[in-house]
Amino acid sequence: MPNIKSAKKRVLIAKENAERNRAYKTELKTIIKKFDAAIAGGNRDEANSAYKVAVKAIDQAVTKGILHKNTAARKKSSVTLKLNKLA
């Protein structure tokens, strides 16, 4: 446990940031699962709209510092390949 006042503040801020990051990651996983469900359903229009939402969410996660850019590129590539297989 920190003794210095500024260190105590940093602990609290780090905790808040970790919770926020966890929420963003959870939301991103949910969006990708919705895309996977649309692919499993075989509905091309629904899959296209879910694809756009997923790619946008992945890009926003990189901007916010939640995902590394290479991880995001891998996820976007995986999503794109799934969409193209549906066609």
pLDDT at 30: 97
Helix locations, the chain, DSSP H: 5-41, 44-64, 69-86
Alpha carbon 63 to its chain centroid, in Å, reads: 11
pTM over 0.75: yes
Give Cα separations from 8 to 4, 18, 52, 73 (angstroms). 6, 16, 42, 37
pLDDT value, residue 86: 87
Q: How does pLDDT run across 30-75, given as a tens digit for each residue?
A: 999 999 999 999 889 999 999 999 999 999 999 999 999 999 999 9
Locus of tokens 């920190």: 2
Q: pLDDT value at position 1? A: 83
Query: Residue 18's pLDDT band (boundaries 50, 70, 90)?
Result: very high
